[in-house]
Amino acid sequence: MKYTEFMEKNSFDLVDLLALAYGRIVDDPPQGFDARLPTPPLLMMDRILSVTKDKNKGSIVAEQDIRLDAWYFQCHMPGDPVQPGCLCVDAVWQLLGFYCAWRGAVGTGRALGCGEVLFNGQIRPYNKIARYEIAVKRYSHLKESGVSIVIGDADIFVDGELIMVMKEARTGVFKGISYPDYPMRSLNSIGGMIRQDHE
- Does the annotation mark 76 as catalytic? yes
Find the catalytic residue in 9, 47, 67, 76: 76
Residue 81 gets the label, from left (phi > 0), alpha (psi -120 to 50) or beta, of beta
Bond prior to 38 in cis (omega within 30° of 0): no
- Name residue 14's amino acid: L
Task: Quote the radius of gyration of the chain (alpha carbons, Å).
Answer: 17
DSSP string, 129-158: EEEEEEEEEEEEEETTTTEEEEEEEEEEEE
SS3 6: helix
Catalytic residues: 76
